[in-house]
Amino acid sequence: WMQKRTVRCWFAEEQFQLVLCRLPGSAEQHRRSLKFPSDLEELRELAEFLQDYKQEHQNYVLLLFCAAYLYKQSFAIPGSSFLNILAGALFGPWTGLLLCSALTSVGATCCYLLSASFGKQFVVCWFPERVAMLQKKVEQNRSSLFFFLLFLRLFPMTPNWFLNLASPILNIPVSQFFFSVLLGLIPYNFICVQTGAILSQITSLDALWSWGTLLQLLAMAVAALLPGTLIKKFSRTHLKLDAKAQGVGLRNGSKST
């Protein structure tokens, strides 16, 4: 199964590189500019390059973004927050949110299916304690499984990439998995996409304090607080969680997707 996993990863990488090679324009410029950003400076450079490139090749930019996002999600590569921010800068707050929500759900489901096909032994072998902990919690909350999955997305007891890999082992139905990702990560995606949209629009300190920017920041605050508050209130009465599990999401302050 490890050989199969290596072959599939290699094939996906080759397909992604093929998309890059077929983009119109200078191949040398593509190789220099197109890579997954690892910090904010690289993200800024990539956003500037793609914004210019998008003016003449909008469909190719959309195709490249979708391919990159699905690649990262399908193979459980952390760091999709950078791509969410990039989506806000390239496509705007609302189109970017719809795009990221759809790609997150589809990509996570691809990861689920890949893990179900040939990754179960790897996950159990390398993360036995995490799998056992999640298995116990899932069985305790089987009667309210969908809301428990929403809770895990809003207040992650474990990174999202690991939850994607482990869900087939936990006998979580793929339909509940898909919709829990779609709905549970909307606040997180919204905050990241809005951040990208705001940063792409700000050209001076005066723009930072404009009414439009302030309303966007207010919407980000509501998106961060309201869903979490509702799910946490529900969890206290319907889910079987200890105090440590209920507080872990608030202490972490960030997600690994």
- Helix locations, 75-92, DSSP H: 80-91
Distance separating alpha carbons of residues 64 and 58, to the nearest angstrom: 10
Check whether 38 has a pLDDT greater than 60.
yes
| Planar angle of CA 129, 135, 138, nearest 5 degrees | 140
Per the model's pLDDT, the better-predicted residue between 94 and 220 turns out to be 94
Stretch (H or E) spanning 8: helix 2-21
Are 32 and 138 contacting, i.e. CB atoms less than 8 angstroms apart?
Answer: no
Residue 33 lies in a domain: yes
Residue 85 lies in a domain: yes
Residue 257 lies in a domain: no
Check whether 203 has a pLDDT greater than 60.
no
Structure tokens at 28: 């040398």
Per-residue pLDDT band for 8 (boundaries 50, 70, 90) equals: very low
Amino acid symbol at 35: K
Residue 21 lies in a domain: yes
| Planar angle of CA 92, 182, 248, nearest 5 degrees | 100
Q: How large is the angle between the packed helices 128-140 and 145-154, nearest 10 degrees?
A: 130
What's the pLDDT score for residue 71? 92
Per the model's pLDDT, the better-predicted residue between 25 and 82 turns out to be 82
Lowest mean pLDDT among 48-62, 65-79, 106-120, 167-181: 48-62
Q: State the total domains in the chain.
A: 1
Are 169 and 124 contacting, i.e. CB atoms less than 8 angstroms apart?
Answer: yes
pLDDT, averaged across the chain? 77
Are 72 and 110 contacting, i.e. CB atoms less than 8 angstroms apart?
Answer: no
Per the model's pLDDT, the better-predicted residue between 203 and 171 turns out to be 171
Check whether 23 has a pLDDT greater than 70.
no
Residue 197: give the domain boundaries: 2-252
The 10s digit of each residue's pLDDT in 140-175 is: 888 888 988 988 888 767 789 999 999 999 999 999
Per-residue pLDDT band for 52 (boundaries 50, 70, 90) equals: confident
The 10s digit of each residue's pLDDT in 218-240 is: 776 676 666 666 666 666 666 66
3-state secondary structure of 241: coil
In degrees and rounded to multiples of 5, residue 232 shows phi and psi of: -65, -40
> What's 23's DSSP letter?
S
Residue 154 lies in a domain: yes
What is the maximal distance between C-alpha atoms in the chain? 59
Lowest mean pLDDT among 10-24, 58-72, 102-116: 10-24
The 10s digit of each residue's pLDDT in 122-136 is: 899 999 999 999 999
What's the pLDDT score for residue 39? 75
For the chain, the straight-line distance linking the first and the last C-alpha, in angstroms and rounded, comes to 25
pTM of the model: 0.76
